[in-house]
Structure 1
Amino acid sequence: MTAPLPSPGAPLEHYVSSADFDPDQFEAMSAGQQRYYMASQKKLMWWKFKKHKLALASGIFLALMYGMILIVEFVAPYGLHSRNVDYIHSPPQAIHFFDKGNFVGPFVYGRKMTLDIDTLRRSYTDNTSDVQPIRFFCRGDAYRFWGLVESNVHLVCPAVGGQMYLLGTDRLGRDVLSRIIYGARISLTIGLIGIAISFVLGIVIGGLAGYHGGLFDLLVQRVIEILQSIPSLPLWMALAAIMPVSWSPIIVYFGITIILGILDWTGLARAVRSKLLSLREEDYVLAAQLMGAPTRRIIGRHLVPGFMSYLIAAATTAVPRMILGETALSFLGLGLRPPITSWGILLTEAKDVSVIAFYPWLLFPMIPVILVILAFNFLGDGLRDAADPYK
């Protein structure tokens, strides 16, 4: 009877040295089957992940978003605090390519503003005789790149002396699109920093509780139950409200990040504890203990990789939870404060129903929030499946 081939992903040396290796059976396989059986585990994971088209598209989208936050000053058409008082609450402008049947390229029409004396409302109409071409890799508002290098080069700019408000303007005449791009830097990074804090706490505390058990495990479980019994939003509000108003925006930013990270570790710690309670009885753990391996190595190198697929899924769902937490706190006025700009702060402009009725484009900052949260969820599904490529 022919012995089975070694499992996929095993090193090539294992095929040659294995007593069960049958060269005839291996040669009888197709080139694709040989490539599969000789592939490393990382390659198998990548092949499985590529089959999940929605997860792959979500990963590309998130990569572009996080790449953009490195160069927001260059990508944004206007500066963060640039104002045009002649275009307060101007609605979004449409991009056109043809004017009177002639191809012009991307452009916007200039606008005329009229003020209703009775209601004091501004109304804007397109001036089709004023064609304003959109410029690319151009000079516009001056800025300090990452607060260090002076520059005025932008990816896209309005025509010289013109206006280009693709997502409209706010009550101070500031470009909504530019402020959304700037707000992405804060909203997206606060999720990564917060998840890093919660993962360190969850894996360390939950790992020690599950591996050692005893009194430490009992105390950890009681602390987790107390924290989870408190409603999340009121607890976030209470902790955010105790931060002094005299603190600088940067300190407030890190304070909110630490609060979100500290309060999010409990669910992960409980899951890690339950996994380690079952895995610590395995023979390979006993072998590592007999060889004198320290607890840190046993947990980090032998136990945690055993449920990496769960950790990946937990990370991709925790990041959008952090973003939503910051958005909610900032929307309620208890999170980040100007001059820092985040998507939550931008949404404070849309608190009033009457404002939304007259200026619905002020709700546009919630679109990237929705897209990023969906992308993280789809990416998590793909990564969870790819982490178990033999499934």
Structure 2
Amino acid sequence: MSVVADPHIDPNADPRAIAGEDSASQWRLIWGSFRRHRLAMTGAVVVIAFYLVALFTEFLAPFDPDAPSSRDVYHPPQMIHLFDTNADGSWAFRPHVNGMKLSRDRFTLKTTFSPDPDKKIYLTLFGDGTPYKMWGLIPMEKRLIAAVTPGERFYLLGADRLGRDMLSRIIAGTRVSMSIGLAGVAVSLLLGLVLGGVSGYYGGWVDTGVQRLIELKLSLPTIPIWLGLSAALPQDWAPLTRYFAITLILSLVGWTELARVVRGRFLALRTEDFVVAARLDGGSKARVIFRHMMPSMVSHIIASVSLAIPVMIIAETSLSFLGLGLLPPTISWGVLLKEAQNVRSIAQAPWLFAPGIAVCAAVLALNFLGDGLRDAADPYAQEGR
């Protein structure tokens, strides 16, 4: 039986050029599947927005998050009005907020704020505000939103019990809460990759020992461990030291799931042809693991990491809310929610619970992103589409 060559194909042509659009890299296939997942794409946009806020906190915050104002205690939120009337009665684009008058009841001493129609605080983009240092290095005065008249204060999300701007404090808390998720997952990733990889690659008594350690950790309740380790930290530690200690606690408790995922992938890959060929070619064990096996499971690791970050964020928020995590003057979403856990906040200042909305938005976005990455990286799901 003779094989007739296709006269339209050049026998000297590059096979990749012949395949054309029918061939694509693994990352291209993952991206093509991921962008069809609308919730995951929405989650990715929201997550990127949160990390941009965390990166440019000083520029985005209207005021110093720690600057108090005794006259603005529990100041209510002010709505931005985009248009204002000129002297001739015509309308002009002049963003502003209406001023508020403070009054106090003579008998109960209760303070109330009421709109002041005679006072308007005009706003501008990229205006001059309180001087600060971007990332603690670059002296700057420009802020995204600032009052046209220097020194005037406005509260788009209200003020807390010390008259501090809640919007600035939520933005500042974004940096701490979102970064502690990344830092905690980074340590968990290192532990999970090392222990899970060693367990899955070597097998035998090594695998047995690591799996018994994981099962022992999983048999213990997570929340009491977090509470116990956090309560054991000295209260007089510096904020930065306590930040790294809480990150380490969350990482040591949360590495087991990733280790199991890595172990399962290594057990499946160690008998694959390309791994056997690398061994027969004389590659060392470290080269086989990190040069051949690890790259083939990067997509699964990314999906697992994206699903682990919201767990870290919720854990830090819960510990700080209970007073066992980060402590003032550190600003995080959990610290802000702890400061709002009183009857007066519920009755008179519900805007103090706005950090809870930020927590829900970040966790949901990260979960949608993680689900999309997991589905896009699953080859069996790819075949079913």
Separation in structure 2 between the aligned mates of residue 2 and residue 65 of structure 1, nearest angstrom = 60
Matches for 1:276-355 after TM superposition, within 5 Å:
276-355=266-345
Matches for 1:149-160 after TM superposition, within 5 Å:
149-160=138-149
Contact 1:110–1:163 (CA<8 Å) still a contact in 2? no
Is the alpha carbon distance of 1:2 and 1:353 closer, same or farther for their aligned partners in structure 2, counting shifts above 3 Å? farther
Contact 2:127–2:148 (CA<8 Å) still a contact in 1? no
Separation in structure 1 between the aligned mates of residue 110 and residue 5 of structure 2, nearest angstrom = 83
Higher deviation after alignment, 39-48 or 277-286: 39-48
* CA displacement 1:61-119 (0-9 Å, x = unmatched): 22222122222111100012111111100111111123468344221000011112443
Name which of 134, 140, 148 aligns with 1:145: 134
| Structure 2 equivalent of residue 356 of structure 1 | 346
Contact 1:309–1:385 (CA<8 Å) still a contact in 2? no
1:335 CA drift (Å): 0.9
| Structure 1 equivalent of residue 176 of structure 2 | 186
Matches for 1:37-76 after TM superposition, within 5 Å:
37-76=22-61
Percentage of matched positions with identical amino acids: 45
1:279 CA drift (Å): 2.6
Separation in structure 1 between the aligned mates of residue 141 and residue 299 of structure 2, nearest angstrom = 45
Q: How many residues align?
A: 368
Separation in structure 2 between the aligned mates of residue 197 and residue 114 of structure 1, nearest angstrom = 52
1:192 CA drift (Å): 0.7
Name which of 72, 91, 114 aligns with 1:87: 72
Is the alpha carbon distance of 1:3 and 1:327 closer, same or farther for their aligned partners in structure 2, counting shifts above 3 Å? farther
The amino acid of 1:82's aligned partner reads A
Higher deviation after alignment, 167-176 or 202-211: 202-211
Q: Are 2:157 and 1:172 equivalent residues in the alignment? A: no
Name which of 124, 137, 140 aligns with 1:135: 124
Is the alpha carbon distance of 1:15 and 1:385 closer, same or farther for their aligned partners in structure 2, counting shifts above 3 Å? same
Contact 2:127–2:147 (CA<8 Å) still a contact in 1? no
| Structure 1 equivalent of residue 357 of structure 2 | 367
Separation in structure 1 between the aligned mates of residue 347 and residue 224 of structure 2, nearest angstrom = 29
* CA displacement 1:266-303 (0-9 Å, x = unmatched): 11112222232233223332222222222222223333
TM-score with structure 1 setting the length = 0.87
1:230 CA drift (Å): 1.7
Separation in structure 2 between the aligned mates of residue 383 and residue 225 of structure 1, nearest angstrom = 27
The amino acid of 1:149's aligned partner reads I
- For structure 1, which runs of at least 5 residues remain unmatched after alignment? 5-11, 27-33
* CA displacement 1:175-217 (0-9 Å, x = unmatched): 0000001111111111111111101101110111111122222
Task: Find the residue that maps to 1:51 and give its secondary structure.
Answer: coil
Contact 2:304–2:374 (CA<8 Å) still a contact in 1? no
| Structure 2 equivalent of residue 260 of structure 1 | 250
1:155 CA drift (Å): 1.1
Is the alpha carbon distance of 1:117 and 1:294 closer, same or farther for their aligned partners in structure 2, counting shifts above 3 Å? farther
1:38 CA drift (Å): 4.8
| Structure 1 equivalent of residue 14 of structure 2 | 13
* CA displacement 1:35-67 (0-9 Å, x = unmatched): x32544433333333222332232222222212
Is the alpha carbon distance of 1:361 and 1:44 closer, same or farther for their aligned partners in structure 2, counting shifts above 3 Å? same
Separation in structure 2 between the aligned mates of residue 41 and residue 277 of structure 1, nearest angstrom = 21
Separation in structure 1 between the aligned mates of residue 190 and residue 23 of structure 2, nearest angstrom = 35
Name which of 218, 223, 227 aligns with 1:237: 227
The amino acid of 2:42's aligned partner reads A
Task: Find the residue that maps to 2:294 and give its secondary structure.
Answer: helix
- For structure 2, which runs of at least 5 residues remain unmatched after alignment? 7-12
RMSD (CA atoms): 2.4
Separation in structure 2 between the aligned mates of residue 38 and residue 115 of structure 1, nearest angstrom = 73
| Structure 2 equivalent of residue 7 of structure 1 | none
Task: Find the residue that maps to 1:153 and give its secondary structure.
Answer: strand
1:221 CA drift (Å): 1.6
Q: Are 2:212 and 1:222 equivalent residues in the alignment? A: yes
